[in-house]
């Protein structure tokens, strides 16, 4: 019988955690051909161009929502693909997204306290 | 990674688990250049960097919030619209974005063990980063000439603090890139070179994503 220990295999043991997650494996299948990253960079450059274009085009009340959506897409694209978080361990995901989520919650709350958003 | 073949008639379930763990740990050590196995089965160095980046979100969140609160407090100084040069900053942003591409190409080169490409991409990334920092120094100088000093207004103070902190992060990233490049050349990187490059890459991409937010909130949204 063949038992494959894959990149995301985990096993817990009564005596404590057991190491079965393969760091090298994650690394290997996270890395794509160079052209894959070039395409992502072109996509990001186009989004940046759109953002800058919005500065000079009047789209009224849609300006802020569209700008925020473009910013969020760029942010998440870099994190998921360039930083490989899409392919990486849930622990790394947790470490980053919890920090980011806390920052957004805390400072949104703080700005709301100053009635920033109602100005 | 190679499959681990274990005859079921030789080992029981508990033993089999132990065998799997043993083989995995051994294989990890080989892949990671002899790095220690960890209780999570993950690289502690990489986990540490991710935790650091998570905490950095809180630092920059604070600085961005302060800027958003004070950007309308102009005192006798110039307004953001009077000093900002959006086309120039857009080019700087593009340069930093492209440095993320060259960084990820360096990481893939490290994974392929292509040391020549790795060396080139690390150097190009550092160069693009230096271009960005140079642009920021030029921008600050221009703003100062237009009457926006650090203590001119709360807008000035919060702007210089936020973008200055980011600039310092980029500068630290450049130093890290050059240091890693030199250490790899001199074969002074213990363990897995690819992981070391990847960890520096995580930091570099982080300064890029922070700039994505700063560029939008500071330069593109009118005060």
Size of chain A in residues: 119
Q: What percent of chain B has pLDDT over 70?
A: 83
pLDDT tens profile B116-142? 999 999 999 999 999 999 999 999 999
CB-CB under 8 Å, B24 with A23: no
Q: Which helix (H) or strand (E) holds B44?
A: helix B44-70
Nearest to B23 by CA among A90, A89, A4: A4
Q: Is the pLDDT score of B68 beyond 70?
A: yes
User: DSSP per residue over A27-75, as a string?
Assistant: HHHH---HHHHHHHHHHHHHHHHHHHHHHHS--GGGHHHHHHHHHHHHH
- pLDDT at residue B151 in the model: 93
Q: Is the pLDDT score of A97 beyond 90?
A: yes
pLDDT tens profile B9-39? 344 444 444 444 444 444 444 444 445 667 7
- CATH of region B44-220, choose from 1.10.1790.20, 3.10.20.30, 1.20.120.80, 3.40.50.300: 1.20.120.80
- Region B203-221: what's the mean pLDDT? 96
Q: Residue A10: how many CB atoms within 10 A of its CB?
A: 14
Say if residues B193 and B51 touch (Cβ distance below 8 Å). no
pLDDT tens profile A9-55? 333 344 433 333 444 444 555 668 899 999 999 999 999 999 999 98
Q: Which of B24, B67, B125, B162 to mutate to test the interface with A (most CBs of A within 10 A)?
A: B24
Say if residues B142 and B85 touch (Cβ distance below 8 Å). yes
Nearest to B190 by CA among B45, B27, B38: B45
The ranges assigned to domains in chain A are 14-88, 89-119
Question: Could you give the ipTM of this predicted complex?
Answer: 0.80
pLDDT tens profile A50-73? 999 998 998 989 999 999 999 999
Nearest to B99 by CA among B116, B122, B118: B122
- Region B178-198: what's the mean pLDDT? 88
- Region A102-118: what's the mean pLDDT? 84
Please indicate whether residue B5 or residue B103 has the higher confidence score (pLDDT).
B103
Interface check for A24 against chain B (CB to CB < 8 A): the answer is yes
* Chain B, window 148-177: residues with a beta carbon less than 8 angstroms from a chain A beta carbon: none
The ranges assigned to domains in chain B are 1-31, 44-220
CB-CB under 8 Å, B8 with A116: no
Interface check for B81 against chain A (CB to CB < 8 A): the answer is no
- Shortest distance, CA A39 to any CA of chain B (angstroms): 10
């Amino acid at each position: 019988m063949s038992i494959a220990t894959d990149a995301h295999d985990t096993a817990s043991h009564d005596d404590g955690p057991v190491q079965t997650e393969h760091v090298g494996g994650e690394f290997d299948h996270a890395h794509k051909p160079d052209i894959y990253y070039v395409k992502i960079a072109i996509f990001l450059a186009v989004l940046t161009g759109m953002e800058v274009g919005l500065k000079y085009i009047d789209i009224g009340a849609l300006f802020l929502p569209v700008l925020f959506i473009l910013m969020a897409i760029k942010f998440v694209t870099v994190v998921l693909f360039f930083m490989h978080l899409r392919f990486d361990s849930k622990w790394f995901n947790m470490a980053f997204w919890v920090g980011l989520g806390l920052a957004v919650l805390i400072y949104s709350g703080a700005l709301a306290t100053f009635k920033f958003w109602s100005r | 990674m190679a499959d681990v073949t274990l005859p079921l008639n030789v080992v029981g379930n508990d033993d089999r688990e132990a065998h799997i763990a043993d083989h995995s740990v051994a294989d990890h050590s080989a892949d990671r250049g002899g790095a220690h196995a960890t209780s999570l089965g993950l690289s502690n160095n990489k986990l540490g960097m991710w935790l650091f980046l998570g905490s950095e979100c809180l630092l920059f969140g604070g600085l961005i919030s302060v800027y958003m609160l004070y950007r309308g407090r102009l005192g006798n100084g110039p307004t953001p619209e009077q000093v900002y040069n959006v086309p120039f900053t857009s080019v700087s942003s593009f340069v930093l974005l492209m440095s993320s591409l060259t960084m990820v190409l360096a990481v893939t080169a490290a994974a392929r063990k292509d040391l020549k490409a790795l060396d080139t991409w690390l150097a190009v990334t550092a160069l693009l980063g230096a271009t960005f920092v140079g642009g920021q120094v030029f921008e600050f100088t221009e703003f100062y000439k237009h009457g926006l000093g650090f203590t001119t207004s709360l807008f000035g103070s919060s702007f210089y603090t936020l973008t200055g902190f980011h600039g310092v992060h980029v500068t630290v990233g450049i130093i890290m890139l050059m240091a890693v490049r030199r250490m790899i050349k001199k074969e002074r990187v213990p363990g897995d070179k690819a992981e070391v490059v990847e960890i520096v890459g995580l930091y570099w991409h982080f300064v890029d994503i922070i700039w994505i937010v700063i560029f939008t909130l500071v330069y593109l949204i009118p005060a």
